[in-house]
Amino acid sequence: MSRNYPFETGVYRPPSEGGSASLLVRFTRNCPWNHCTFCTMYKGKKFNLRPLEEIKADINAMADLVADLQAESKALGHGGQVTRDAILALLGKAPGLNHHPGADMLIQWMAVGGKTAFIQDGNSMIMPPQDLIAALTHLKETFPSIERITTYARARTLAQRSLGDLKVIRAAGLDRLHLGLETGDDALLKQIKKGVTAQGHIEGGKKAMEAGFQVSEYWMPGLGGKEMTDQHAENTARVLSEVNPHYIRSRPFRPAHGTPMSDQVKQGRITLLDPREQLLELRRMIRALDVTSKVCFDHMGNYWRTASGDLVFHHEYEGYQFPDEKQMVLDRIELGLAFKQEPVRFLHM
């Protein structure tokens, strides 16, 4: 055996996909928009649609690695299970795996049962629908253990797709879409160069819901600074209430070094919220939110604490079920407001 298992693995996936140790399968490279002024993810990298045959070849190379590891395990009497000895035996025959950027990810995915997959990179829905459907079909046929497939998508692309195409993509096995809403405020969307309006977010999100996807929307508390905090909170709640997605995930804004937004903060054009003001913005947004979604704070940026030292919000991926737990979230915010929060340090700005 002298295989080198040629498949690509991108860098980014949502935290919830790391928690479920998802298989990362790269259908496109980087982001076709790439203008958002807070984002560092794919900056300086060119977007590529990967040819269908190349994507299929990646999936086949992953399948080869899975089959070879299972064969080593069986030869050792381990019944095909992922064991340390089986991995060492495979590494002895394919030492290139020590430096393979995706091998750890694939073996970890096998070890936890191979149930979930995440399609990379930034907006898979930009693919020609027939290619996306064929790639999803090949993935599911190759790995029948997969029960859930998710990906990043832009609301604007979803709004441009026909409902019929979205339904066929959904039927081909794509279950969940992770959408970067960031804000529902038109002035702030323009300022951050999101390339979509509040109405576009509503149309894209609702269309995805109608097509049967699970929809996970990410918003950024603090994104508008002190200057736009009220309109950011109110309009984000308005848009999310209209879409009523399955998940709403909070990703508090922190300016990243080298981004236009970091420069705007340094120039005094955006005044960052202090921890108390962040909680006040969250309270305003949550109060106005009229949804049956799961509202999640599954990221370390949701750092606020209460006087007893525990986090204001737990970081579980399934979050708080609204409306049943809305009052609990509001009560937790009051506990956070009653405690003097440590100021946030922006080490990398």
Cβ of residue 75: shortest distance to ligand SF4, in angstroms? 43
Give the chain's radius of gyration (CA, Å): 22
Distances (CA, A) of 333 to 254, 283, 328: 20, 7, 9
Taking a C-beta distance cutoff of 8 angstroms, is the pair 294, 319 a contact? yes
Cβ of residue 64: shortest distance to ligand SF4, in angstroms? 31
In whole angstroms, what is the distance from residue 32 CA to residue 42 CA?
A: 9
Q: Candidates 5, 7, 27, 33: give the one binding ligand SF4 (CB under 6 A).
A: 33
Q: Candidates 34, 216, 235, 293: give the one binding ligand SF4 (CB under 6 A).
A: 34
Cβ of residue 182: shortest distance to ligand SF4, in angstroms? 7
In whole angstroms, what is the distance from residue 25 CA to residue 149 CA?
A: 10
| Residue 275 in the binding site for ligand SF4 (CB under 6 A) | no
In whole angstroms, what is the distance from residue 326 CA to residue 320 CA?
A: 7
Cβ of residue 102: shortest distance to ligand SF4, in angstroms? 20
Tokens 């980087």 sit on residue: 30
Question: Nearest-CA neighbor of 237 among 154, 325, 322?
Answer: 322
Cβ of residue 125: shortest distance to ligand SF4, in angstroms? 12
| Residue 255 in the binding site for ligand SF4 (CB under 6 A) | no
Binding segment toward ligand SF4, per CB under 6 A, in 29-37, 77-85, 92-100, 252-260: 29-37
Taking a C-beta distance cutoff of 8 angstroms, is the pair 191, 269 a contact? no
Tell me the number of residues near ligand SF4 by CB under 6 A: 11
| Residue 254 in the binding site for ligand SF4 (CB under 6 A) | no
| Residue 177 in the binding site for ligand SF4 (CB under 6 A) | no
Binding segment toward ligand SF4, per CB under 6 A, in 30-38, 53-61, 266-274, 306-314: 30-38
Site string for ligand SF4, 144-163 (x = CB under 6 A): ----------x---------
Three-state secondary-structure class, residue 160? helix
Taking a C-beta distance cutoff of 8 angstroms, is the pair 175, 149 a contact? yes
Question: Nearest-CA neighbor of 66 among 19, 105, 92?
Answer: 105
Cβ of residue 33: shortest distance to ligand SF4, in angstroms? 4
Token code pair at residue 25:
């399968």
Q: Candidates 6, 8, 41, 227: give the one binding ligand SF4 (CB under 6 A).
A: 41
- Residue ranges that bind ligand SF4, judged by CB under 6 A: 31, 33-36, 39, 41-42, 122, 154, 180
